Amino acid sequence: MADRRALKRVVQFGKHEFSTKRPTSLRILLVKSNSLSAWGFLPNIVYREHGPIQYLVVLDYREHLRIYFFDSNGRSLGAQNFDKNDKLLRDLSKMTIQKYSLPRDRIKS
């Protein structure tokens, strides 16, 4: 249940940031666990662990990404801006699982 409450806190934070800062899109990502060791013929037993960062809130501002880091309890660990490039986007898609997203609706004037 703690994971569910933490995700709710992170989604609430993401919605607030999305409405106030107006990025083009928002994605909330769960960081995949790392495999420590495996035993067995077909690896029957696998030990995995999560690092200190469990969730990422990614705000897309077309030219750069702002990524907020959260722990497993939903507490903020800080944020950082990154230049948007193909390698970063590939690494994010490989190392995370998308839990929530909000695209910016196109406003016609």
- Alpha-carbon span 10 to 68, nearest angstrom: 10
Virtual CA dihedral for 54, 76, 7, 49, nearest 10 degrees?
A: 20
Looking at per-residue pLDDT, the higher value among 6 and 105 belongs to 6
Q: Could you count the other beta carbons within 10 Å of the beta carbon of residue 100?
A: 16
Is a pLDDT exceeding 80 seen at residue 53? yes
For range 5-32, the mean pLDDT: 94
For range 39-63, the mean pLDDT: 81
Looking at every residue in the chain, the average pLDDT score rounds to: 86
For range 4-32, the mean pLDDT: 93
- Alpha-carbon span 25 to 103, nearest angstrom: 4
Per-residue confidence band for 37, with pLDDT thresholds at 50, 70 and 90: low
Domain locations in the chain as residue ranges: 2-102
